[in-house]
Amino acid sequence: MKLVSYREWERDAWRAGLLHEGKVKDIAHACPGAPSTVLGLLEEWANWLPVLQAAYEAQDGWDLEQVELGSPLPRPASFRDFYAFEAHVMTARAKRGLPMVPEWYHFPVFYFSNAAAFTGTQANIRRPKATEWLDYELEIACVIGKAGVNISVERAEEHIAGYCILNDWSARDIQREEVKVGLGPAKGKDFATSMGPWLVTPDELADVSMTGEKGSRFDLEMVARINGREYSKGNFKDIHYTFAEMIARASEDCYLYPGDVIGSGTVGTGCILELGTEQYAWLAPGDVVELEVERLGVLRNTICE
């Protein structure tokens, strides 16, 4: 099942919809009494999930081309972004002349970013005035659908409502300076995060799931293209820490709530910082950035001044 946040006109409020075979069905109309937003649905997820599944395949609704899609959660409850792909961490550190940190292998680490700066597919991303080194980051996010604290790895996937593509945009020159102080990234990430184009429920990925003692990995190819040229290619199954491990870490002595977003961190080769500016220029106004993940769709944004 695919959930979207959509609107017909630019100033309309974002509404929750079900996407099926190119049609967007308004959930509040299809399911009387249902919340009108995706966040509202997540807050009552266990109650509404079977109702949504029953309504999912109905064919009436808006054509996808007739509506604007936002981030499935236009303003998440919170956003934690992890650092879970070993290849990305190793290469990014090597570019700065740094070895791997042994502690990285002890537990998954994350930082908080700006939950008020989320945007969806097709949106323009304004390049920060202070940066010349604008970068994309090819990631997957999971969205929490069930509250909990001190969640075990074994039970963590029960708390996942679905998965999305995530682009954790980075102003690398700003980031480089602020992390020297020992904090951050902060302003280097503060301006935008793209998520979408829709939220895919876990049942749609069951046949590509690779389940182990520490949770599931998924055999999903991940690709980034700039102006139609392929830059990055990886696979989600190569992640070192599973979302189950990330959720367990994030929930230690701290409640997670419906609508919280957890990012995977960047897949190996998944940003210009890794690839090197000798062959790949930093992003510039007019560039079209497409992130594609099997089963999850294509997240497309254009850079503007």
- Percent of the chain's residues with pLDDT above 90: 91
Q: What pLDDT is attached to residue 184?
A: 81
Is the domain of 106 the same as that of 47? no
**Residue 23: which domain range?**
2-69
For 134-163, how does the pLDDT look when each residue is reduced to its tens digit (9 = 90+)?
Answer: 999 999 999 999 999 999 999 999 999 999
For 58-78, how does the pLDDT look when each residue is reduced to its tens digit (9 = 90+)?
Answer: 768 999 999 999 999 999 999
138's tokens: 């090819």
Supply the DSSP symbol for 107. Answer: S
CA distance 248 to 153: 6
CA distance 30 to 56: 9
For 91-134, how does the pLDDT look when each residue is reduced to its tens digit (9 = 90+)?
Answer: 988 887 889 999 999 999 999 999 999 999 999 999 999 999 99
70's tokens: 């936002």
Is the domain of 87 the same as that of 65? no
Nearest partner of 133 among 166, 169, 95, 163, judged by Cα: 169
pLDDT band at residue 179 using 50, 70 and 90 as cut-offs: confident
Q: What pLDDT is attached to residue 28?
A: 93
Is the domain of 90 the same as that of 180? yes
For 231-260, how does the pLDDT look when each residue is reduced to its tens digit (9 = 90+)?
Answer: 999 999 999 999 999 999 999 999 999 999
Q: What pLDDT is attached to residue 36?
A: 97
Whether omega before 185 lies within 30 degrees of 0, making that bond cis, reads: yes
Ordered alpha helix ranges (H), 108-242 = 172-179
Is the domain of 118 the same as that of 210? yes
Of 69, 88, 104, the residue at which a domain comes to its end is 69
Q: What pLDDT is attached to residue 180?
A: 86
Is the domain of 165 the same as that of 225? yes
